[in-house]
Amino acid sequence: MSSQPHDVEQLVRQEYKHGFVTDISTDTVPPGLNEDVIRLISARKNEPEWLLEWRLTAYRHWLTMTEPAWAHVHYPKIDFQAISYYSAPKSKKDGPKSLDEVDPKLLETYAKLGIPLQEQKLLAGVAVDAVFDSVSVATTFKEKLAEAGVIFGSFSDAVQNHPELVRQYLGSVVPATDNYFAALNSAVFTDGSFCFIPKNTRCPMELSTYFRINAANTGQFERTLIIAEEGSYVSYLEGCTAPMRDENQLHAAVVELIALDRAQIKYSTVQNWYPGDENGVGGIYNFVTKRGDCRGTGSKISWTQVETGSAITWKYPSCVLRGDDSVGEFYSVAVTNNYQQADTGTKMIHIGRNTRSTIVSKGISAGHAQNSYRGLVRIAKSAEHARNYTQCDSLLMGDRCGAHTFPYIETRNATAVLEHEATTSKIGDDQLFYCMQRGISGEDAVNMIVNGFCKEVFKELPMEFAVEAQKLLGVTLEGAVG
Amino acid sequence: MSQEALEFYVAEHARTIALDTDWLHGLRQSALSNFRRAGFPDTRQEDWRYTDVRPILKRRFVQAGDSGDLAADAGFEGMRFAGLDAHELAFINGHYDKGLSRLGPLPQGVILTSLAEALIKYPQQVKDCLANFPGLDANGFQALNTAFLTHGTLLYVPAGVTVATPVHLIFRSNRQPEPRMAFLRNLIVLGRGASLTVIEDYSGTADAEYMTNVTTCISGGEGASLRHYKLQGESQKSYHIAATHIRQARDCRVESCSIALGGALVRNDITASLDGEGAEVALDGLYMGNGRQHVDNHTWIHHRSPHTTSREEYKGVLNDHARAVFNGKVIVHEHAQKADARQANDNLLLSDNAEIDTKPELEIHADDVKCSHGATIGQLDENMLFYLRSRAVDADTARSLLIFAFADAVVSRIGLRPIRERLEAMILGKLPDSGLIKEFVQ
């Protein structure tokens, strides 16, 4: 048994494998934030007047707000004037029309990350809209998607080509004034993904975007908007990695999902931003607002996230269950190590009748990390027969880390049924002993147990991501089953 | 409004609190300045986000003590437990009433007296006990309690002594043209291996308006054992702000049961600090609201040493426009390995206008722990209803029986039969259709 702490240590001390810097010249705006910078971003992106106004309104509101302090995270004050708000790879000017035209160094970057950009065309599995810093550089399978009537591309393209859709839905789930970081994002967002699934359409493939922060000192502010019309279905995958940098970098994204009658959106994330080194130096501040609006009857929004990176994660993917019979789901694995801090969870706002929500959250904390689950389940008076099931479990590895649970449950309807369960424990000596006395090494045993702990969430991930998630945890799913 | 209320209390303090011995004067004054600084809590503060205290701030309660307002009302005698041999200390509108109190013979060395008397006769014990609970003026109400510190109880049990007869603290308030407020401080000290049962019992004349602000400090020595019951059956128009602070040394065991049935606006704060290895605490609670009652229970359990255990089970039944808040926090501090904490909060909503806000929290800084919490909100189990109906019990009776059983799960654990019986009768009084089930449960 003496080898156990050692094995655990090894397991949690994996170094960041994606830490490299791609050396391509970028077109970066000098640091600082003011109305001129916003006008400049808007002008560079050739945006219509209403969008500029929208950004400026958000900016002016942001100036009146104060940075939230309620999260269970600690970090030095962010100097918003020291951040550069726009960074685009130079090669964008020609606009690559196929993969061949894309800067080979970029492709190399993706190859290192294991993104199957090239292969995907052959395997015909996933369409990738890769966001490199702030501008979309390559989009595949557009033709096939277009056939189905699906619009999938960068946010900038959508602003140019489908301004009426963007205008109708932008900010309708996360208003520009929603919170401090959402307001900042609304003012300065540069790019992101846009996805529109027309009526009664099942998106023919899983959609995927990889975000990656590259240039030093550039915040990344993406904006994602997904609209699923009546009776449609889409599965969307988002993966994030960032190279190793010493300074803390800010990442404040906004994701808005809209599901109309009977539409289903499945949104999966594997977040592996640079978490800082063993001493807590550097790393990404990941302050994200994600919200889905089940606007229609019988609609469904499902969030699945595997959060392994970032120095600080501040993220609450939420569902507003407005439509009757709508369903919200949240499956999360959050792993923190060294000096990482995560304050993450979900909000399920039940408004419609017979709305149902499920929350499964697994937190793993190691080293000096702090891992918090913070969630809200609110049953409005109108939500007859609402149902919620919440389970949040924490696993502790090491005696200097922390695991915390802050669930808020507010009920205003007597027909609602809610259950909330939470447990915190470490890997039991008896569990390890059981495995080891059957000839399984300590490390494998730990892997197995961690995997089993997360299994409920992994099984919700699309296959491609499940594989990546396994790699990120350094464990194999199969072992847990056997 | 908050500012006016603040000034009112400062003036009331100047009017009623005499200059006293040096140390007490200093303590009260520093609490008063903390109160001025902190003010009253508002809903922007995390610990008060669901409880709005403005109804209290709107009213002007005055301290009792004027002639004529210290007489017991007709209901007082009913508060004694028939069939329970107990040491009874009686308080009317926050003032000790020696004539109504009945103290039996106490074991050698035990001190059981009103705080007002203890400040004169046993200042050292009071001082020692207060010194054990620093920082009790973090929020406005607690600061006021310390600033007004005069009345209450000192109950001191020396090492190795078992007080076999329960101590019954009776706090009765009555109706006055100008509503009264009572500031109470109960100090309970158990020496090494001491053992005791205490009942705190609060009630008032039906529909009388008044405020009770009580802080109870419990300090348990090594291996001490305490059973503590707080029965709150205040009038439906009263305001009850209570804080209980428990500190436990090695292997000390405390069972504390809090029953909240009365009051228009009720706030209970319970803090248990498991300071020594092997300390164990069990917090049980039942809250029932109807009309427009608002009941807020906040508990904090600090596991500060290894091998500490906590159990917590709170149940709530809410009808009409009642609203309840439950916030239970378990904090396992660094080095408190092998801590074992279990917490449960179950709620029944009987009306569409009732509301429950529950927040079971865990904050864990040690790795070798077993902690869990659960919260449920719902209605009666359809299967249980079916079971009863299939045995020819009509729907209303079946429903009523199941609600009673739900609430009674907490009460039935109380070891003293006279208390149990009174509480069961009170629960029945708060349930809809209770007439139907009287024959089954009494």
Judged by CB atoms closer than 8 Å, whether chains meet at A422 and B373 is answered as yes
Tell if the CB–CB gap between A404 and B363 is shorter than 8 Å. yes
- Which residue, B115, B94, B141, is CA-closest to B298? B141
User: Is B350 in Cβ contact with A411 (below 8 Å)?
Assistant: no
Confidence at residue A107, expressed as pLDDT on a 0 to 100 scale: 56
- Alpha helix stretches (DSSP H) within B106-219: 115-121, 123-131, 140-147
The letter for the amino acid at B398 is A
B206 has which bridge partners?
none
Quote the pTM value.
0.85
- Residue pair B139/B146 in contact (Cβ under 8 Å)? The answer is no
| Spatial separation of the C-alpha atoms in residues A308 and A371, rounded to whole Å | 11
DSSP class of residue B162 equals B
What is the predicted ipTM? 0.82
B334 chain-A contacts, CB cut-off 8 A = 399-400
Query: 3-class DSSP state for residue B425?
Result: helix
- The answer to whether residue B302 scores a pLDDT higher than 60 is yes
Q: Are residues B434 and B402 in the same domain?
A: yes
pLDDT grade for A98, boundaries at 50, 70 and 90: low
Chain A neighbors of B351, CB-CB under 8 A:
414
Cβ contacts of A5 on chain B, cutoff 8 Å: none
Is pLDDT above 50 for B368?
A: yes
- In 3D, which of B200, B186, B196, B243 has the Cα closest to residue B223? B196
| Cβ–Cβ gap B379/A420 under 8 Å | no
What is the per-residue pLDDT for A482? 24
Which backbone phi and psi does A119 adopt, to 5 degrees?
A: -60, -35
Residue B274 has what pLDDT? 97
Q: What are phi and psi of A125, to 5 degrees?
A: -100, -55
| Cβ atoms A234, A207 nearer than 8 A | yes
Bridging pattern class, strands A233-241 and A223-228? unpaired
Contact A400 B363 (CB under 8 A): no
Q: Please tell me whether residues B410 and B277 are part of one structural domain.
A: no
- Contact yes or no for B359 and A422 at CB 8 A: no
Q: What is the pLDDT of residue B16?
A: 84
- What is the number of other CB atoms lying within 10 angstroms of the CB of residue B275? 18
Residue A119 has pLDDT above 60, yes or no: no
Query: Cβ contacts (< 8 Å) between B370 and chain A: which residues?
Result: 423-425
Is A376 an 8 Å CB contact of chain B? no
CA distance B264 to B322: 9
**Chain A nearest-CA residue for B363:** A404
User: What DSSP state is assigned to residue A77?
Assistant: P
Strands B62-63 and B180-190: parallel
B150 and B208 share one domain = yes
Task: Return the structure tokens found at A74.
Answer: 């600690």
Closest of A370, A458, A378, A462 to residue A412, by C-alpha: A378
Rg, C-alpha atoms of chain A: 22
Q: Report the range out of A466-470, B15-19, B186-190, B409-413 with the highest average pLDDT.
A: B186-190
Question: Going along A159-214, which residue ranges are E strands?
Answer: 193-197, 206-212
Q: Which residue of A has its CA nearest to B44?
A: A70
The residue type at B156: Y
Residues B370 and B395 in one domain: no
- Residue A94's pLDDT band, with cuts at 50, 70 and 90, is very low
Give the count of Cβ contacts less than 8 A between chain A and B: 116
Q: Which chain B residue is nearest to residue A71, measuring alpha carbons? A: B46
- Domains in chain B, number: 2
Q: How far is A173 from chain B (nearest CA, A)?
A: 25
State pLDDT tens for residues B121-178.
Answer: 999 999 999 999 988 887 899 999 999 999 999 999 999 999 999 999 999 999 998 9
Nearest-Cα distance to chain B for A366, in Å, is 9
* A421/B366 CB distance under 8 A: no
Report the alpha-carbon distance of residue A13 to residue A15 in Å, rounded: 6
| Cβ-Cβ contacts under 8 Å for A38 (sequence gap 6 or more) | A52, A55, A56, A59, A187, A188
B440, amino acid identity: F
pLDDT given at position A15: 58
- Residue A102 pLDDT exceeds 90: no
Determine the residue of chain B that is closest to A417 in CA distance.
B378
Asked whether residue B391 falls in the same domain as residue B314, the answer is no
Over residues A200-213, the pLDDT tens digits come to 999 887 787 655 45
Residue-level pLDDT at B3: 87
Note the pLDDT of residue A13: 53
Of A407, A412, A426, the CB nearest to B355: A412
For residues B265 and B338, membership in a common domain is answered with yes
Q: Which of A109, A141, A137, A111 is nearest to A123 (CA)?
A: A141
Q: What pLDDT, in 10s, does the model give residues A55-92?
A: 999 999 999 998 888 888 888 888 888 887 876 654 43
Last residue of a domain, one of B332, B353, B380: B380
Instruction: Quick: pLDDT tens for A271-303.
Output: 877 777 777 777 888 899 999 999 999 999 999
pLDDT of A86 reads 75
Going by pLDDT thresholds of 50, 70 and 90, the confidence category of residue A4 is: very low
The rounded mean pLDDT for chain A is 79
Q: List the structure tokens of B344.
A: 């449960």
Among the partner-chain residues B360, B368, B377, the one whose CB lies closest to the CB of A411 is: B377
Q: Do B159 and B289 fall into the same domain?
A: yes
B298: nearest Cα among B25, B39, B51: B51
Q: How far apart are CA A388 and CA A365, in angstroms?
A: 26
- Residues of A (404-443) whose Cβ lies below 8 Å from B: 404-426
Domain borders along chain A are: 4-481
Give how far B19 is from chain A: nearest CA, Å: 41
Nearest CA in chain A to B366: A399
Q: Which domain holds residue B73?
A: 2-380
Q: Is the pLDDT of residue B287 over 70?
A: yes
Residues B51 and B63 in one domain: yes
- Mark yes or no for CB contact B374/A419 under 8 Å: yes
| Closest of A191, A186, A193 to residue A220, by C-alpha | A191
Tens digits of residue pLDDT in A411-439: 999 899 998 988 888 887 888 889 989 99
The DSSP output letter for B247 is E
Going by C-alpha positions, the residue among B22, B167, B25, B145 that lies closest to residue B94 is: B145
Nearest to B361 among A400, A402, A405 (CB): A405
Mean pLDDT on B60-86: 88
**CB pair distance less than 8 Å for A420 and B372:** no
Cross-chain residue pair B375–A414, CB shorter than 8 Å:
no
Quickly count: other Cβ atoms within 10 Å of residue B375's Cβ: 25
Q: Give the pLDDT mean for B316-334.
A: 94
Element (H, E) at A284: strand A283-294
